[in-house]
Structure formats: structure tokens, C-alpha cells
Amino acid sequence: MKLQNKVALITGASSGMGRAQAKRFAKEGADIIAFDVNKDGLQELEDHFDSLDSNFLGLEVDISDAQQVESAVEKALERFKSIDIISNTAGILDDFSSLEDTDEELWDSVFNVNIKGIYLVTKAVLPTMLKNKKGTIVNIASIAGFVAGGGGAAYTSTKHAVVGLTKQLAYDYGQKGIKVNAIAPGYINTSMTEDVDPSLTDDLPEPRPGEAEEIADLAVFLASEQSDYIRGETIKIDGGWTTD
């Protein structure tokens, strides 16, 4: 198993890509710490792991709140003593809103989850990784981190920021034993995209939406030792959306 004896913290873990990663990481031998604001979703995930007799800790956390994040990380470390992997997956959309249709509340909410949340979670776990001289961080970006049209003004701005932060973290901490990369999904079948027109994928080289499990497979690779020579990269998994 590729993640045997590792402890993985996954944000946005109760649904979609986060949930798929939690299940896939556990299948590869990892203990799972799940952060999410969805209490019912966390309970469903906990019930799933209880049936498998897997090590699992679900914590209701607003990742845009520094105090909640710090408290949750402390609880996680009390339970598992270490955190080896972070998958910063939690994110929200902006309804493809143009700048003129984006009020300050929407702008702030998207930035607070999509980029501030990554900052807070990573900063809270970083001392443990630095102490252990090892760790892996996988950030979920988006094709909106490379092109326009994958979201609105706020969403696209945050995902460009995720790509940039991924590079900077890899640069700052690579020689201290911490590997950092990101994944840029295209249209993926999740509850977050259920209101998005699926015909957007009709003209892709692979003309279908992606599945959350495909993101999880790539995340396992990036979290494992197989990808140790890949640093600071954001890997697109978009059915060829960005080939033109």
C-alpha cells in the first residue's frame, strides 16, 4: 500500500473530491483526519470508516477561522501524534459571476475558503512537518488557475493564487523535507458542479465530465513516494480542456 502508516488530513472531506480522497487514501493504508463544515456529511463518512475498522477522525471545522483550525489541528495531533499529508481540497464556487456582479460578501467568502483556508490549515500543520523533516501537501487548484472561463472573477483569482502558493511553498520548504504539488481539475462530477451545464465537456478530447475518484487516484500518486521528484507542479486533469 502506497500510504501505509501515514496520517492524512483532508479538508472538504465529507463530499465530492474530498470524500473520494479520504476513501482512497485509507485504502492505501493511511489514517484519515477529515475537516468539513458539514456535520452530517462527516457523520456519514465516519460510519463508513467504522464499518471498515479504519482509523478516522472527523472534525467540524470552518477552515476560514484561524481559531477553529488551530484547535482542530491540536485535537488531531493529540490523536495521531503526527500529520504526514495535507490535501487542501475544500473550495466553493462563485456562480461564474463577473466582477460587476460580484459583491464584497461573495468575493470575501470565496477567498476565505479557497485560499485563506489553505493558508490557515497549512500554517497550523507546518511546524509538525518541519519538526519531522518530512511531509506532503497536495492543493486542489483548478483549470481556472490557468485560464479564464473556468469560474467567475473571484473563483478564478483564488485558483491562480493556489497555483502560485503551491510554487512558493515548494520553493521555501522543499529542502526541509516537504513536498508540495497541486491538482487542477476541470469539470468533475460532484455536488458542487451539479448546477453546471454538463454539455461544457461535449467538445473535449475526452468528451465527458471527470469523476472524483480520478482526482483521488492522482492525489494518491502525489502524496506517495512515487512522485518525490515532482515539486511545485500543478497537474491538470481536465479531459483536455486546456489543450487549445
State how far the Cα of 103 lies from the Cα of 105, in Å rounded to an integer: 5
β-partners of residue 33 are 9, 57
Quickly tell me which residue has 508540495 as its cell. Answer: 180
* 33 φ, ψ (degrees, to nearest 5): -110, 120
Q: Are 110 and 117 in contact (CB under 8 A)?
A: no
Torsion from C-alpha of 22, 10, 233, 163, nearest 10 degrees:
130
State how far the Cα of 208 lies from the Cα of 200, in Å rounded to an integer: 9
155 annotated active-site: yes
Between helices 16-27 and 212-223, what is the axis angle to 10°? 50
Comparing CA positions, the residue from 199, 185, 190, 202 lying closest to residue 238 is 185
Say which of 155, 171, 173, 187 is annotated catalytic: 155
The SS3 assignment for 230 reads coil
In the chain, at which residue ranges do the beta strands (DSSP E only) sit? 7-11, 31-36, 56-60, 85-88, 135-140, 178-185, 188-189, 210-211, 234-237
State how far the Cα of 90 lies from the Cα of 57, in Å rounded to an integer: 17
Q: Which residues are catalytic?
A: 155
